[in-house]
Amino acid sequence: QVQLVQSGAEMKKPGSSVKVSCRASGGTFSTYTVSWVRQAPGQGPEWMGRIIPFLGMANYPQRFQGRVTITADKSPRTTTVYMDVSGLRSDDTAVYYCARERKGGSYYYGMDVWGQGTTVTVSS
């Protein structure tokens, strides 16, 4: 059973960037859709974008376009997906999760495997 292992907690200054990684352990997710979801304290989850590593193409909601970049290793056994967030603000403080959907494809099949979460704190 594949597990998703994320990089550790980050403390960042406003205006800086952060890059969070998500590594597949015990399997690969190259043909699955992998999303990034964040949850700020006291708020609901927010979808930040997704990628199918095999295809290498990502898509984002409008509010994050230009500020969020999702990439993946392009090796045949793709095991790591990355999310880069630039221009950090205090309201970007949240727990960031990567999550694998049940299958790859154009629609939305439900995220059945989640990383452990990475806390990103933005403060001056």
Which residues, listed in sequence order, are joined to residue 11 by a DSSP beta bridge? 121
Among residue numbers 41 through 60, which ones bind other proteins (CB under 8 A)?
A: 43-47, 50, 59-60
Q: Which region, judged by CB under 8 A, interacts with other proteins, from 12-20, 22-30, 71-79, 101-109?
A: 101-109
E strand or H helix that includes residue 120: strand 118-122
DSSP E strands in 8-117: the ranges are 10-12, 18-25, 34-39, 45-52, 57-59, 68-72, 80-85, 94-101, 111-114
Which of residues 2 and 109 has its CB atom nearest to other proteins in the complex? Answer: 109
Q: Considering only residues 22, 37, 58, 122, which one is a binding residue for other proteins as defined by CB under 8 A?
A: 37
Residues that bind other proteins (CB under 8 A): 35, 37, 43-47, 50, 59-62, 97, 99, 102, 106-112, 114-117
